[in-house]
Amino acid sequence: MAFFRTVSLSDFSPAIEGDKVTLRWPAAGDFAAWSHLREISRNFLVPWEPAWPIDDLTRSAYRRRLKRYAEDQHNDVSYSFFVFRRQDDALVGGLTIANIRRGVAQAGSLGYWMGEPFARKGYMTSAVRAVAPFAFGALNLHRLEAACIPTNAASMRLLEKCGFVREGLARQYLCINGQWQDHVLYARLRDDPVPAATV
pLDDT of 151 reads 94
Read off the amino acid at residue 61: A
* pLDDT confidence band for 13 (50 / 70 / 90): low
pLDDT tens per residue, range 106-134? 999 999 999 999 999 999 999 999 999 99
Q: Which residues pair with 181 in a beta bridge?
A: 174
Tell me the fold of 14-142.
Aminopeptidase (3.40.630)
**pLDDT 10s digits, 35-86:** 999 999 999 999 999 999 999 999 999 999 999 999 999 999 999 999 999 9
- Residues 175-197 have a mean pLDDT of 91
Q: Is the pLDDT of residue 5 over 80?
A: no
Give pLDDT, residue 10.
47
DSSP characters for the chain?
Answer: ---S--S-GGGS-SEEE-SSEEEE---GGGHHHHHHHHHHTHHHHGGGSSPPPTTTTSHHHHHHHHHHHHHHHHTTS-EEEEEEETTT--EEEEEEEEEEE-TT--EEEEEEEE-GGGTTSSHHHHHHHHHHHIIIIIS--SEEEEEE-TT-HHHHHHHHHTT-EEEEEEEEEEEETTEEEEEEEEEEETTSPPPP---
